[in-house]
Amino acid sequence: MSPDILNTLEVILNGLMAGVMYSLVALGFVLIFKASGIFNYAQGVMALFAALTLVGIQTGQVPFSHLINVMFGTNYHNWSNGINTVAAIILTMCVMVLLAWLVEKIVLRHLVNQEPIILFMATIGLAFFLEGLGDLMWGANIKVLDVGLPSGGSFWLEDVTKEWASEGSEYFGMYIDVLDVWAAGIAIILVVALTIFSQYTKTGRALRAVADDHQAALTVGISLRTIWVVVWSIAGFVALVAGIMWGSKSGIQFSLSLIALKALPVLILGGFTSIPGAIIGGLIIGVGEKLFEFSLGPLIGGATENWFAYVLALMFLMFRPQGLFGDKIIERV
Amino acid sequence: MNITQPPADVLLSLNNISLSFGGVKALTDISFDILKGEIRAIIGPNGAGKSSMLNVINGFYHPQQGEVWFDGSIRGPLKPYQIARQGIARTFQNIALFKGMSTLDNLMTGRITKMHANIFWQAIWKGKAEKEELEHRERVEHIIDFLEIQAIRKTPVGRLPYGMQKRVELGRALAAESKLLLLDEPMAGMNVEEKEDMCRFILDVHDQFGTTIALIEHDMGVVMDIADRVVVLDYGKKIGDGYPDEIRNNQNVIDAYLGVAHE
Amino acid sequence: MFYRESGDFKSTYSADQQTFPIKFDRIAVGVILAFAFVVVPFLINDYWEKSILLPFLVWGMAALGLNILTGYCGQVSLGTGGFMAVGAYASYKITTSFPELNMFLVILLSGGVTAFVGILFGLPSLRIKGFYLAVATLAAQFFLVWLFNKVPWFYNYSASGMITVPERTVFGIAITGSNSPPWATYLFCLTFLVVFAFIARNLTRGRIGRSWMAIRDMDIAAEIIGVPPLQAKLSAFAVSSFYIGISGALFFSVYLGAAEPTEAFGIDKSFLVLFMIIIGGLGSIFGSFVGAAFMVLLPVLFKNIMVGGFGWPTDMVQHFIFMLVGGLIMFFLIVEPHGLAQLWRVTKEKLRLWPFPH
C-alpha cells in the first residue's frame, strides 16, 4: 500500500480511538437521559471531578488544603504519601455515589416537573458548581494521572505496519498510542456490561421502566429516588472511567470539562437514548473530525476540529433529529 | 371519486378523508359536511379519531386520501397558520393556553391573524402599531365582557383554576372572529354549573355572531340540547350522521357506546 | 402607605397599557434616568467606568438580546459569544473601511450585520427545538470564533491576529481608544442601552412579543391559531442578534479597544450572558439589567472582600465565584425560575398592600 493510503488509515484508526474517548463521556449522558429525561451537562465536569478526586486520594492530598491553609495560616498538604491505586479508585467511587445522592436530594427532586430546558440549565449550574468545588478541594493546577495503564507508541505496531508500505517508499510505520487501545477495550467492555445490565437485570429493567414513564413506574412500586441515585452513581462510575482515560492521556485540567460539549454532537448522531448509539456516534465524530482535518483542514487554515463535530451534528438535526438510533419524536396536540 | 363543489350553504366539506400514522389507521374514508351557521356535534367513544379529525380540519395533520373544502374552495397544501387565517379557530382537549401570558395577552394573541403593523412601527409604539393595538384591545374587551372574565384580565393564566382556563381558551378562540369555530371537549372536567355557563356562552356566540360551530363532546345531554346535527365516529369510521333524534335511536351508535363488538 | 395605586384608575386602554402604570414608578424611573444622564458623567472616574459602568451597560445590552431570544421566545442559544464577535468584527471592518462614518452609525450597522447572521443561524430553529437547538447554536459559536481567527480579511491581515480599534470621535470628543474620557464612553453606551431598552419594551408588549411568547409556551397550538412560526422565530433571532451585535461592537470598540476572538468571545461569554438572564429573570427586561448588574458586581465585590479584606489568592476567589454562581443558578431554577425580577415584583406587590398583609 502506498504511504498515502497508510497515512489515511492511521488517521482513521486514531479517529476511532478518539471517538471511543468521546463515547465514554457520551455514555454517561445517555444513562441519565434514559432514566430521568435530564440532559446532564455536568457529565464532563463529573469526569473532571472524579479524576481530581482520584489523584487527590491517590497522592494522599488533604482536601481543601489551600483553603484551610489560607484561612488558618497552616501548612497542610498531604496526609500520607499515597494509597494504592485500587483502593483509591474504590474510595473515589464512594465519593461519586455520595455526590449522586446529594444531587438527587438537593437538585433533582425539586425539578421533577419542569421542562427539559430548565433541567438542562440546572445541570449547567451544577457543572459550574462542581468545577469550583473540585478546584477548591484539590487545587486547579494541572495534574498527572497515573493508574498504571501503559501509554506511548508501540514499536511492535510501527514495525508491523512498516512492512505494509509499498517497495521503496518512505514510511516509518503507524503511530497508535497504546493507551488509546486500552481505552477502546475498556469502553467496549463497559458498553457491553451496561447493555447486559440494562436488558437482563432487575435494576436494569426498573431503569428502563422509569425512562419510559415515571408515573407508571411508581405505580408498580419502583422507587424513583432510588433509581435516580443508582443511575447517577453509574454515570459517576462512567465519568470516573472517562476521567481516568482522558486524564492519563493528557493530564487533568480544566479543558476536560469542555469534553462535555463535544459529547453533544455524539449524542445527536447516536440518539440521546441509545447506548450503542453513543459508541457509534462517538466513532463517527472521531473519525469524521480527524479525516476532515487531515484532508480539507490544510486548505482552510486548520484547527477545524473546533467546530466540525457541531456542524455535522447540525446537519443531522436538520434531516434526522432523532439521530441514528434514537426514538422518533412524534408531536401531538 | 368525483371532485364536485359543495353547495353554497356548506361551510366545510370533508370528502373521503383517510388518515394513518405509520401502520395505524386513525380515520377511514370519512365524509361529512358542516352547514353555515349550524352547530355540528362530533361524538364517539374514546379513541374514535375525533381530535384527529379536528387536526385534519386545522391542517395540522395531512390526510393521505380525501379532500377538504372550506368556504367554497378546495384546500391546497397550506400550513396551519395560513388555514387559521382563512377563518378557522379552535380550542383544545388538553388546554393549550400560553401559560406565561396573562388572560388579556392570550386573547390578544387570538387576534394575531388580524394584526399587521410591521416591526418598525411596533418598535416605537406609535402610529400604526398603537392604533392597531388599541383597536383590537377594544374588540377583545367585548369578549371579556361577554365571558365575564374581567377580574382575571391581567392574571397569568397558569394560575387560574381549570374551569376559568377553559373559559379563557374559549375567549381566545372567539377573539379570532372566525367563520368556523372548533371546540374540542370544551366542557370536559366541569361540574354542572360550569357546564351550564359554557353552554350558554356557546349558544350566545352562535346567536350573536352567527358563528358556525363544530363541537366534540361526550355529554349526551349537552349534545342533544344544543346540536343541530350530529356525526358519530367509532374506530376511525363514520357510523352515524343526522339529526340528534335519529342518532339517539341509531342501533350502530348505541352498540358503539355499549361496546358491542363489530366485525 | 406611600406605594399605592388606589384611586389611580385608568380610563383609557392606552393608559392601561403603559410601561409604568403606577405614578410612583414613573417618577422613580424619571429620577434614575436624570441621575444617570446628568449627574453621573460628573462623578465618573476611570475605575468606575472600566470596572463597573461600561461592563454593566455592555452586558446589559447583551442580556437584553439573549432574553428576547431565550426568555421571550424560548429558543436556547449558547452562541452569544460568537454573535458578539460578529458585531465586534463588523464594527472593526466598517470603521476601518469608512473612517469618516459616525460611530453611532457604525455601531448600528454592526448590529444590522449581526442580525443578518443571526437569521442565518436561526434557520435551523424551524426544524429543531429545545436544547437540540442549543447544540446548533454551539456550532455557530465555535465556527464563528474559528472564522475570525483564521480568515485574515477580518483582522485586516495584521500580524498579531488581533483587532485594534482606531481612535474615533463623536461630536469632536474621542469615543474609542485610550484618549476617550470616561464620561464620553459612558454616555455613548448609556444612550444605546436606554434607547434599545425602550424599543425592547415596545416590541415585547405588542404583536411580535406575543407571537414570541406563544411560540415559547405552546408552539404547535400557536401555529394552529395563526401565529406564523417562521416569522416569529426568525424575528426573535434577528432582533436578539441585533442587540447582541451592538453589545459586541461596543464591547470591542469602546470598552476593550483590542480583542482576540477566543479570549474575548469564547463560549464562557455565552454562559455568562445565559447566567445573567437566568438569575435576573427569563422573559423580563428589568431582569436582564438586574442579572447583568449582578454578574458584573459579583466578582468586584468578592475581589474586594476576599482579596482586599481577607488576603485570599485571586484564583481561589474565582473558584468561590464559580461555586456561588453555579449554586445560584440551581437555586433560582428550583425556587424562582423567573429570577430576581420576579422576587422584585413580589416585593412590590407586598409593598402595594403594606401595611396590610393581604
Question: Which of B110-114, C326-330, C347-351 shows the lowest mean pLDDT across its residues?
Answer: C347-351
Nearest CA in chain C to A108: C334
A330 vs B96: CB contact, 8 Å cut-off?
no
Contact B84 C224 (CB under 8 A): yes
| C339 occurs within a structural domain | no
Would B108 be classed as within a structural domain? no
Of A147 and A136, more confident: A136
Q: Could you say which DSSP state residue C167 is in? A: P
Please check whether residue A305 lies inside any domain of the structure. no
Report if residue C170 sits inside a domain: yes
The phi-psi region of residue A104 (left if phi > 0; otherwise alpha if psi is between -120 and 50; otherwise beta) is alpha
C326 touches chain A (CB under 8 A): yes
Is the Cβ–Cβ distance between C88 and C253 less than 8 Å?
yes
C25: nearest Cα among C280, C348, C355, C244: C348
> CA–CA separation, C15 vs C6, rounded Å?
15
**pLDDT > 90: what percent of chain A?**
1
Q: What is the CATH number of the domain that holds C223?
A: 1.10.3470
pLDDT in tens, C5-40: 556 667 777 777 777 777 777 888 888 888 888 888
Cα–Cα dist C114/C90, whole Å: 8
Residue A118 or C142, more confident:
C142
Cβ pair A318:C124 closer than 8 A: yes
Decide which of C145 and C310 is more confident.
C145
**What confidence tier does A327 reach under pLDDT thresholds 50, 70, 90?**
low
Kindly list the residues from chain B whose CB atom is less than 8 angstroms away from the CB atom of residue A333: 51, 55, 60, 92, 96
| Full domain range(s) for residue C153 | 22-271
Q: How far apart are CA C108 and CA A76, in angstroms?
A: 56
Q: What is the pLDDT of residue B259?
A: 65
The nearest CA of chain A is from the CA of B134 a distance in Å of 32
Indicate if the pLDDT at residue A156 is higher than 80: no
Using a CB–CB cutoff of 8 Å, tell me whether B51 touches chain A. Answer: yes
Query: In chain A, which residues have their Cβ closer than 8 Å to the Cβ of B21?
Result: 330
**B60 touching A (Cβ < 8 Å):** yes
- Percent of chain C residues past pLDDT 70, beyond the cut: 96
Residues of A in contact with C66 (CB under 8 A): none
Angstrom distance (rounded) from CA C249 to CA C95: 11
CA distance A96 to A59: 18
Q: Which residues of A touch C143 (CB under 8 A)?
A: 307, 310-311
**Highest mean pLDDT: which range of A29-38, A175-184, B32-41, B111-120:** B32-41
User: How far is A63 from A165, CA to CA, in rounded Å?
Assistant: 53
C-beta atoms surrounding C33 within 10 Å: 12
Instruction: Please give the pLDDT value at position B111.
Output: 92
How distant is the Cα of C207 from the closest Cα of chain A, in angstroms? 24
The answer to whether residue A328 scores a pLDDT higher than 70 is no
Q: Do A310 and C330 touch (CB under 8 A)?
A: no
Distance CA A48, CA A260 (A): 10
Please state the rounded mean pLDDT for residues A287-302: 84
The yes-or-no verdict on residue C355 having pLDDT over 80 is no
Q: What integer pLDDT is reported at residue A207 of this predicted model?
A: 80
Top-confidence range, A213-217, A315-319, C260-264: C260-264
Number of domains in chain B: 1
What are the chain C neighbours of A107 within 8 Å (beta carbons)? Answer: 330, 334
Evaluate whether residue B136 is within a structural domain. Answer: no
Q: Which domain holds residue A69?
A: 3-258
On whether ipTM exceeds 0.90, the answer is: no
Mean per-residue pLDDT of chain C: 87
Q: How many CB atoms lie within 10 A of CB C338?
A: 20
Instruction: Look at phi and psi of residue B2 and say left if phi exceeds 0, alpha if psi is from -120 to 50, else beta.
Output: beta
> Is A321 a domain residue?
no
Q: Is the pLDDT of residue A245 over 60?
A: yes
Give C-chain residues touching B101 at CB under 8 angstroms. Answer: 210, 213-214, 217
> Is residue B90 in a domain?
yes
Residue B140 counted as domain residue: no
For an interface test with A, which of C121, C127, C133, C135 has the most A Cβ atoms less than 10 Å from its Cβ?
C135
Candidates A121, A127, A132; nearest CB to C320: A132
Q: Is A72 within a domain?
A: yes
Q: Could B124 and C228 be called an inter-chain contact, meaning their C-beta atoms sit closer than 8 Å? A: no
Three-class SS state of B242 = strand
Residue C5's pLDDT is what?
Answer: 59
Those residues with Cβ within 8 angstroms of residue A316's Cβ, 6 or more apart along the chain or in another chain: A268, A269, A323
Classify residue C43: in a domain, yes or no.
Answer: yes
Does B186 map to a domain? Answer: yes
- Work out how many domains chain A is built from and give that number: 1
Select from C13, C207, C239 the Cβ nearest to the Cβ of B138: C13
pLDDT at C72: 93
Q: What is the pTM of this model?
A: 0.89
pLDDT score recorded for residue B1? 44
CATH number at residue B96: 3.40.50.300
Is residue A308 pLDDT above 50, yes or no? yes
Domain-embedded: residue A301: no
- Return the pLDDT at A329: 56
Q: What confidence tier does C304 reach under pLDDT thresholds 50, 70, 90?
A: confident
Closest alpha carbon to C254 in C194, C197, C196, C173: C173
Interface partners of chain C (CB pairs < 8 Å, 3 or more) are: A, B
Interface test with C, best of A43, A72, A141, A314 (most C CBs within 10 A): A314
Q: How many domains does chain C have?
A: 1
Q: What is the pLDDT of residues C51-108, one digit of tens each?
A: 899 999 999 999 999 999 999 998 889 999 999 999 999 999 999 999 888 999 999 9
Q: Which residue of B has its CA nearest to C17?
A: B134
Nearest CA in chain C to B59: C224
CA–CA separation, C44 and A232 (whole Å): 51
Of A107-111, C169-173, C282-286, which one has max mean pLDDT?
C282-286
* Model pLDDT for residues B237-259, shown as the tens digit of each residue: 999 899 988 888 888 888 877 66
* Residue A330 is assigned to a structural domain of this protein: no
Nearest beta carbon to residue C315 from set A122, A140, A258: A140
- Contact: A317, C313; criterion CB under 8 Å: no
Residue A174 lies in a domain: yes
Residue A330 has pLDDT above 70, yes or no: no
pLDDT(A170) > 70: no
Domain, as residue range, for B218: 10-100+173-258
